[in-house]
Every structure is written in structure tokens, then in C-alpha cells.
């Protein structure tokens, strides 16, 4: 068996050459097409393999947590002022279409917990107060926390079999009646809802005009898979500062939602952050995002900063690492169109080159 192995290896290495020689027996256009298809598939395969290898973001450090008697919704409460801070770098979202964002460079995060509740306060610079949705091209300021308890998920809003919990706040929800700022309804004139607001007419919980709770609880299994959680357990409150926004998210530690992050177990909690600046045309996938996870751990009774990484809020050296990938319900689900475009372009370019090569030789 060992003596025959070199012959088999030699045969395998000779196969590409034999295949290339046989192409000479076919018309130039057909030979070029065969080479182009092979090159296109190979190019897309390289991209998929590279993105698969980068889908799992590293953990960029630990989130310090303050133990307190109450977890306040008030952004200016003294409890928040005394809590330790961690600064997280944000980047333009370039993992899936639509690419964009990046107008907010960093966010300061504080975490707080007691026996029953857990909360996060996000502080970031944003020079404009964007609330108005009364005309096309107007977008609201917003912020979100992505969480998963247990195994670290892909940074791409989770994946199939690795769902994430997302807490979302939007300024236009909280300040919908603030007419002084120009907030309003794009379809305020009399018109049937089923024509101008089909989502609202159908009862889609993500398409409501107003919300009693300004924090919404969503689930996702990759880009393009956001869904409303059946039970809304997240509360949020956002207030303007001189330089931007402070947004507080609060939720009970123990909830029964299918994919809700849990805080009362020995498993770690992975956190990521996102911010939208409406005046910078940031909406949906266009956002400023963290490309690393922050980690929380628990001893079953108290949330604590993870052992690895700093506990004083100082970013680690890996804070500036970048990760690019696309994922829907699985690796290709949410961004399949991008791969098809790459395949067509790569095949077309390879065909032109190969046709000229084979055509010139005959």
C-alpha cells in the first residue's frame, strides 16, 4: 500500500494538466467557459471559507458590573454615576448588505444588577437629535444590545442553531409626540392603512406607530432574520445629553422567553452593541457596531466581570480587531445575493481572459 501511494499522488498532481490539455480539443468559447466556471466557483469558495473562519468574533474583554439595591431607569440616577465604565470601539457595518454606518466611534457602557434585575447604560456622542419620521429619508436615532448566554455566537446577529437576544430602543418611539422637534407620521393625511402601512394593518408587532414600552425584545438567527419576541420584557429610556444620548435598558434577570438571555446561571453572557445615527442616514444594516464581544460571568447569584480581560473599563489590545462575514439562517442564508453577484463577476472576468487566451492560441 505504501509503495503505491507515490504513484497515486503523482497521478493526482497530473490531473489538472491533463484536464487543461483536453480543453484544447474543444472550441475556444467552450474551453474558456469551463475555465471561467471553475475560476468563479474557486473564487467564491475562497471568500466563503475566509468568512466562515472569521464568523466567530473574539472576546474583547470583560464588562465590569456594579452590585446595587435598585437598577434605575433614570439615566441620571446616582447608582449609574457610581458604576464602573467600559469604553467599546464601534465600526462601520461591512458584514452584510446594506453596508454603512460608522458615524459613532465609541460607546461607554455601564452594567448594574441586583437580586431581581439587570441593566445597561449606553452613553455616546451624537450631535443631532433625530426623531422625525414625517417624510421619506428621515431616520430615527436608535441603540441596541445583543446578548447570548452560554456558547459565544457569531457576531453576525447569531446564526442557525445559535440565536441571539436583542434589546432595541428607538428615539422616535419615546418622543413620538414631541411636535416641537418635527416628529410626526409620514402618512398622517387620511389614507387606508392597508395601502400606506400594510405592516400596521396586518398587526405586525414591529410595525406599530406607537409603543407603550420604548424598549423592544427581538430574536435573530443571522442577518435578515430579526423577529419580535412573543413576550416583551425589556424596558428602555433614552435622554439627550449635551453631546449625544444616554440610553438605559432594564430587564428582570429571570424570564421565560425562548431565546432570552439568562443571568442566573453559571454560564457566561456575551454582549455586543449597535448605534444608529438618523441624520447620517443610518437605518437597518447601516449602523455603528462592535466587532468583538464583551463578556459577563456569574457565580449563580451575582454577575461579575469575566476573568479574562480588564475589569476597569480599559479596552484590550484586541479592541481594534475587525471581523467580516455574512450569515442568515446558516452561512449563506442572509447574504446569498452577494455570493451570486461575486460568482457572476468572477466567472465573467475569467471567461474574458480565458477566451482571449484559448482563442489566440488556435
CB 255 within 8 A of CB 241: no
Residue 228 lies in a domain: yes
- Specify which residues 168 forms β-bridges with: 144, 216
Are 344 and 317 members of one domain?
no
* Cβ contact 269:149 at 8 Å: yes
C-alpha cell at 241: 445629553
pLDDT in tens, 10-62: 554 454 455 555 555 556 655 555 555 655 555 555 544 444 444 445 667 88
Residue 163 domain-assigned (yes or no): yes
Same-domain status, 318 and 347: no
CATH number, domain of 238, equals 2.60.40.1190
Strand 106-113 with 65-67, pairing = parallel
Selection from 39, 10, 42 nearest residue 23 by Cα: 39
If asked whether residues 48 and 181 sit together in one domain, one would say: no
**Which triple of cell numbers denotes residue 144?**
441596541
330: alpha, beta or left? (left if phi > 0; alpha if psi -120 to 50): left
Whether 51 and 65 share a structural domain: no
- Shared domain for 292 and 344, answered yes or no, is no
Question: Is residue 19 included in any domain, yes or no?
Answer: no
Residue 218 counted as domain residue: yes
Full domain range(s) for residue 344: 33-55+336-362
DSSP states of 279-325 = GGT--TT-SEE-SSEEEEEE-SSSEEE-SSS-SSSPPPGGGG-----
Where does the pLDDT of residue 201 fall: very low under 50, low under 70, confident under 90, or very high at 90 and above?
Answer: confident
| CB burial of residue 205 (10 Å; 0-12, 13-18, 19+) | middle
Number of folded domains that form the chain? 2
203 and 263 share one domain = yes
- Set of cell numbers at residue 118: 439587570
Q: 9 versus 204: which is more confidently predicted? A: 204
Residues 318 and 350 in one domain: no
Has residue 174 been placed in a domain? yes
Cell of 174: 419615546
User: Mean pLDDT for the chain?
Assistant: 76
Q: Would you state the pLDDT for residue 77?
A: 97
Distance separating alpha carbons of residues 165 and 149, to the nearest angstrom: 9
- Cell numbers for 99: 453596508
Whether 100 and 37 map to the same domain: the answer is: no
Query: Would 13 be classed as within a structural domain?
Result: no
pLDDT band at 123 (very low <50, low <70, confident <90, very high): very high
- Residue 23 in any domain: the answer is no
Do 46 and 102 sit in the same domain of this protein? no
Amino acid at each position: 500500500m505504501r509503495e503505491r501511494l507515490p504513484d497515486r499522488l503523482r497521478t493526482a498532481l497530473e490531473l489538472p494538466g491533463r484536464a487543461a490539455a483536453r480543453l484544447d480539443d474543444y472550441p475556444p468559447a467552450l474551453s474558456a467557459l469551463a475555465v471561467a466556471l471553475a475560476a468563479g466557483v474557486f473564487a467564491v469558495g475562497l471568500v466563503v471559507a475566509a468568512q466562515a473562519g472569521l464568523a466567530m468574533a473574539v472576546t474583547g474583554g470583560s464588562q465590569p458590573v456594579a452590585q446595587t439595591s435598585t437598577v434605575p431607569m433614570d439615566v441620571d440616577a446616582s447608582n449609574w454615576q457610581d458604576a464602573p465604565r467600559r469604553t467599546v470601539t464601534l465600526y462601520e457595518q461591512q458584514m452584510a448588505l446594506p453596508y454603512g454606518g460608522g458615524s459613532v466611534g465609541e460607546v461607554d457602557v455601564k452594567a448594574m444588577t441586583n437580586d431581581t434585575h439587570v441593566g445597561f447604560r449606553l452613553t455616546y456622542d451624537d450631535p443631532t437629535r433625530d426623531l422625525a419620521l414625517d417624510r421619506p429619508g428621515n431616520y430615527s436615532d436608535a441603540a441596541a444590545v445583543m446578548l447570548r448566554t452560554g456558547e459565544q455566537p457569531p457576531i453576525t446577529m447569531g446564526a442557525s442553531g445559535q440565536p441571539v437576544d436583542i434589546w432595541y430602543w428607538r428615539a422616535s418611539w419615546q418622543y413620538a409626540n414631541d411636535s416641537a422637534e418635527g416628529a410626526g407620521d409620514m402618512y398622517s393625511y387620511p389614507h387606508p392603512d392597508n395601502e400606506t402601512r400594510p405592516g400596521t394593518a396586518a398587526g405586525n408587532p414591529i410595525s406599530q406607530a406607537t409603543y407603550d414600552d420604548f424598549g423592544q425584545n427581538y430574536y435573530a438567527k443571522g442577518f435578515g432574520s430579526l423577529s419580535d419576541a412573543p413576550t416583551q420584557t425589556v424596558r428602555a429610556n433614552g435622554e439627550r445629553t449635551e453631546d449625544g444620548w444616554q440610553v438605559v435598558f432594564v430587564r428582570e434577570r429571570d424570564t421565560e422567553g425562548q431565546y432570552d438571555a439568562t443571568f442566573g446561571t453559571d454560564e457566561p453572557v456575551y454582549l455586543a452593541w449597535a448605534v444608529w445615527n438618523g441624520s447620517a442616514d443610518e437605518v437597518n444594516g447601516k449602523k455603528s457596531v462592535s466587532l468583538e464581544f464583551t463578556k459577563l460571568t456569574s457565580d449563580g447569584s451575582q454577575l461579575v466581570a469575566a476573568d479574562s480581560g480588564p475589569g476597569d473599563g480599559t479596552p484590550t489590545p484586541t479592541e481594534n480587531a475587525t471581523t467580516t462575514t455574512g450569515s442568515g439562517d446558516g452561512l449563506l442564508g442572509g447574504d446569498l445575493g452577494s455570493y451570486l453577484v461575486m460568482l457572476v463577476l468572477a466567472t465573467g472576468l475569467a471567461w474574458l481572459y480565458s477566451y482571449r487566451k484559448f482563442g489566440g492560441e488556435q
